[in-house]
Amino acid sequence: MTIATNLNRPVVTTDHDFLVLTKERLDRGEKFSGVFFLSSQISIGYAVEELEVYAKAGEIQDFINRVIFL
């Protein structure tokens, strides 16, 4: 997550540990560049389509310190 934040890139993951990491960072007052948490219930194609919408419609500032569940 630190590398992604340094590169101003959100993380895309299915790993529940990232939800813990985001809470810990918020509790410490540290920023992160956003996390897109993908449910195991969605298809890869759907995930790619949704991520494309976010990429085209948003700016990195829109995702800072946010977790977006797909």
pLDDT of 67 above 90: yes
DSSP state of 38: P
pLDDT average, residue stretch 33-59: 94
Yes or no: say if 54 and 68 are a contact pair by the CB < 8 Å rule.
yes
Count up the domains in the chain and report the number.
1
Range of the domain at 35: 2-69
pLDDT band at 1; cut points 50, 70, 90: confident
- On the CB side of 23, how many CA atoms lie within 13 Å of its CA? 4
